[in-house]
Homo-oligomer: A and B are copies of this chain.
Amino acid sequence: MTVSVEKKKDDRAIVVKMVLDSWKTQNARIDKFLAEVSDEQLAWPAVLGRNSALYVIGHLTAVTDGLLPILGWGIRKYPDLEEVFITNPFDIKATLPTAADVRQAWRRVNGIAEQKFGEVSPEEWFERHTSVTEEDFEKEPHRNRLNVIINRTNHQSYHLGQFALLLKKEEN
């Protein structure tokens, strides 16, 4: 019995490492992009379809800031970012925060999330997140906290592909 319980714990720890490593890799790539891009380039209007890269970084920051509440582990640090970058994304009259403010918020929310994730046990990652009811989770146990990170990691990759074009375009 002990062996099986240990094995099960091992499995979960392995999977949590796989998913969090992937998330951290994308974060590190976004950090690298931010180190390479100037505030002026960040603010170029509509260079990424409808948006500036500053807007997209603000959007990613607001999404990461929303992770702790969704996972049931904390509250938003920057509720104002949610308003501008998630709730009303196409309000073109909205005043955006400065590049310096967005860069700082990105670092802060990301640091808070990574710290929290480092403290959590593998078992807690397999519990439900706050957008799923207990009844639904009973039937759909894949809708756990770790699944949120898989989806958010893909979301970060999606925008990273766009950032790569922004820097390549300037080279052309």
Contact = CB atoms under 8 A, between A and B. Distances in A.
A49 interface: yes
Interface size class of A (residues with CB under 8 A): 35 or more
Contacts of A26: 154
A49 B169 contact: yes
Nearest to A159: B161
Interface stretch (A6-14, A71-79, A91-99): A6-14
Given A49-B165, A160-B161, A161-B161, A11 B14 contact: no
13 contacts: A1-B4, A8-B8, A14-B141, A26-B154, A46-B172, A49-B164, A49-B165, A49-B169, A50-B168, A150-B150, A157-B158, A160-B161, A162-B165
Nearest to A163: B161
A150 to B, nearest CB: 5
Contacts of A150: 18-19, 22, 150
Majority-rule SS of A interface residues: helix
A37 to B, nearest CB: 15
User: How many protomers of this protein does the assembly include?
Assistant: 2
Given A154-B154, A161-B161, 15 more contacts: A4-B7, A4-B8, A11-B15, A14-B141, A15-B146, A22-B151, A46-B172, A48-B165, A49-B164, A49-B168, A49-B169, A153-B154, A157-B161, A158-B164, A161-B162
Interface of A: 1, 4-5, 7-8, 10-12, 14-15, 17-19, 21-22, 26, 46, 48-50, 126, 141-142, 144, 146-147, 150-151, 153-155, 157-162, 164-165, 168-169, 172
